[in-house]
Amino acid sequence: MKIAGLASNRGRNLRHIADVAPGGAKLSVALTNREGAPIIEAAAERRIPTEVVVREEGESRASHERRILDRLSGYDVDVVCLDGYMRVLTEEFLAAAPTTLNVHPSLLPAFPGTDAHEQVLEAGVRTTGCTVHLVTEAVDDGPILTQEPVPVYADDDAASLKRRVLQEAEFTAYPRAVRWLAEGSVGIETDEDGIPRSVRVDGDTGGSFPARRFASEDRADRLRYGENPHQEAALYADPACEEASVVGAEALNPGSKGMGYNNYNDADAALGLIKEFDDPAAAVIKHTNPAGCATSDTLADAYDRALRTDAKSAFGGIVALNRRCDADTAEAIADSFKEVVVAPGYTDSALDVLTEKQNLRLLDVGPLGEGDDRFSERFVEKPIVGGRLVQERDRQSPTADDLEVVTEREPSADEIETMLFAWRTLKHVKSNGILFATGTETVGVGMGQVSRVDAVTLAAMKAEKDAEGKSAAGAVMASDAFFPFPDAIEEAADAGIEAVIQPGGSVNDEDVIAAADDHDMAMAFTGSRCFRHD
């Protein structure tokens, strides 16, 4: 798609569109009605042809517009984009020209005209933005193609607002509109004179993954620093979130230090893990990975079993509980250094114990809910440079009926129970992830390895060296993705693993199953993997 850009001054939006080429659209010519307008030099630097058509003294608008159309006729353009073009176009021009767009620095129909930013500030509104619309003979009144909001801050003046609206809104919305046109997504209805009266955008609908997303969050806190002391950081909160979270948690130890970036990140990971379980559960998290996790009849026993998986790594970690913290559990937690405890409440006696630890942060997230009510937020997001990844949360929770046993030996009922526990926990281990478990407690965790065999080796080493009163002998192994070769099974057999749960789906599944059969292992496929890459 070829674009003719009309500007009276700098043409910043036109330059941006030329640089990003939305939808493959090309700025074929930049035309101005002012001698020496900065857009001329900017276009020349980009090797874009330029045209200067100044309205002569006494010349009529119609005559001037005919000369503009004559200049543009040689470029065979598909769209005209206005950018600070300080002339009102006539119906005759619009009927003869291709589809013509303009961007206005407010959310029309509010604040039309040349002083939009001043009007915004005078009105005291808290949100402004920009509007890309089809041009008609009426000023700032054509059918709206797209808009982009921008917050108005207390210390904004017209200059700062103008700068932010340009960079945060116009640089987003104008290329979006051009891309839609280039992709053929825009339907325009015109009157008998060819003037646009309505517009429709194909695919710009809602649903789980809409074509556009607007996120509004409030800063909840300035953090002491980010991942490292030289990085600044802040916490932003989604006021609409109803799920129990560390963002909305009440801090119960006023003498402790404030939560840092890593504290929030790890506490969120810990809370996400213990929400998986109905029985009393405890998890100890370090760098968003489980150092240990367990369920039991009592919270204190669950914590003890989780801690003994790797008490060395748990030093300075995050503890999460899915029950109200009682005195027995509090005593056990206070016995070694921890950074944060996350729980849906604390007894008075537990608080008496834990608040003795001056810098231990205590977060009360409130009721977790039951079953699916624990997970009201459907999506998770990860910001990346230039954008944001959005995906559904991994809510899979296979039952015994979902497992496909593929080996000669059937797993026992106890092994199946452990498989299901291990799978729920493994979902929260960074890939490549391997987890050893017995009963409903972890034995060894191998996380974040680039080789699956290395992850098995690490889990076996942690079980042998760091687990207190536990052993890989007779344990169940869970893998977050299929085994591409039998070597990991051989490594697990050497460690004493007797049953395996994994997704299956490798071209070498038969060889992997045969290796398991050779070692009298029971193996079940889930049919789906549980990668976690962040």
The model carries a pTM of 0.87
**CATH code for the part of the protein at 242-374:** 3.40.140.20
Q: Is 104 a catalytic residue?
A: yes
Burial label for 47, CB within 10 Å (0-12, 13-18, 19+), is exposed
pLDDT above 90 (res 372): no
- Residue 373's pLDDT band, with cuts at 50, 70 and 90, is confident
pLDDT above 90 (res 289): yes
pLDDT above 90 (res 252): yes
Check the CA dihedral 242-248-253-256 and report its sign: positive
Joined tokens for residue 161: 């607002």
Average pLDDT taken over every residue of the chain: 95
Residues 6+ apart with CB under 8 A from 5: 11, 14, 17, 18, 27, 29, 30, 31, 39, 43, 80, 81, 82, 83
* C-alpha to C-alpha distance for 128 and 470, rounded to whole angstroms: 60
Q: How many CB atoms lie within 10 A of CB 347?
A: 15
Q: Quick one: average pLDDT of 108-113?
A: 96
Q: How many CB atoms lie within 10 A of CB 200?
A: 12
Strands 99-104 and 79-83, by their bridges, are parallel
Which one of 104, 117, 133, 428 is the catalytic residue?
104
Scanning 427-523, the segments in alpha helix (DSSP H) are 452-465, 487-495, 509-518
pLDDT for residue 317:
96
Q: Residue type for 463, please?
A: A
Q: Quick one: average pLDDT of 459-482?
A: 97
pLDDT for residue 22:
96
* C-alpha to C-alpha distance for 401 and 174, rounded to whole angstroms: 52
pLDDT above 90 (res 428): yes
**Quick one: which H or E segment has residue 333?**
helix 327-334
* Residues 1-32: tens digit of each pLDDT: 999 999 999 999 999 999 999 999 999 999 99
Residues 6+ apart with CB under 8 A from 435: 422, 425, 426, 429, 442, 444, 445, 446, 459, 477, 478
- The terminus-to-terminus CA distance of the chain in angstroms comes to 39
| Residue 156 φ/ψ region, left for φ over 0, alpha for ψ in the -120 to 50 degree band, beta for the rest | beta
pLDDT for residue 248:
86
Strands 186-190 and 196-201, by their bridges, are antiparallel
Of residues 336, 305, 337, 335, the one with CA closest to residue 321: 305
Helix axes 509-518, 487-495, angle to 10 degrees: 20
178 with 79: CB under 8 angstroms? yes
Beta-sheet strand order (sheet of 441-446):
250-251, 361-364, 338-343, 317-321, 281-286, 289-295, 441-446, 434-438, 476-479, 499-502, 522-525, 404-405
* Residues 56-107: tens digit of each pLDDT: 999 999 999 999 999 999 999 999 999 999 889 998 999 999 999 999 999 9
Radius of gyration of the chain (CA): 31
**CATH code for the part of the protein at 399-525:** 3.40.140.20
List % helix, strand, coil for the chain (3-state, nearest 5): 30, 25, 45
Q: Quick one: average pLDDT of 374-396?
A: 91
pLDDT for residue 193:
79
* C-alpha to C-alpha distance for 521 and 500, rounded to whole angstroms: 7
pLDDT above 90 (res 376): no
pLDDT above 90 (res 216): no
- In 135-208, where do the E strands start and end? 144-151, 186-190, 196-201
Helix axes 487-495, 452-465, angle to 10 degrees: 10
* C-alpha to C-alpha distance for 25 and 1, rounded to whole angstroms: 5
Does the domain spanning 2-201 belong to CATH 3.30.70.20?
no
To which residue do tokens 């849906």 refer?
344
* C-alpha to C-alpha distance for 145 and 292, rounded to whole angstroms: 53
pLDDT for residue 514:
98
Say yes or no: do domains 2-201 and 242-374 share a fold.
no
User: Could you tell me how many residues make up the chain?
Assistant: 534
- Residue 191's pLDDT band, with cuts at 50, 70 and 90, is confident
171-175, 298-302, 386-390: the lowest-pLDDT one: 386-390
pLDDT for residue 480:
97
Q: Quick one: average pLDDT of 508-527?
A: 98
* C-alpha to C-alpha distance for 327 and 139, rounded to whole angstroms: 70
The domain limits of the chain are 2-201, 242-374, 399-525
pLDDT above 90 (res 221): yes
- Residue 363's pLDDT band, with cuts at 50, 70 and 90, is very high
The angle at the Cα of 369, spanning 388 to 207, to the nearest 5 degrees, equals: 35
* C-alpha to C-alpha distance for 21 and 182, rounded to whole angstroms: 10
Residues 6+ apart with CB under 8 A from 369: 243, 244, 376
- Residue 255's pLDDT band, with cuts at 50, 70 and 90, is confident
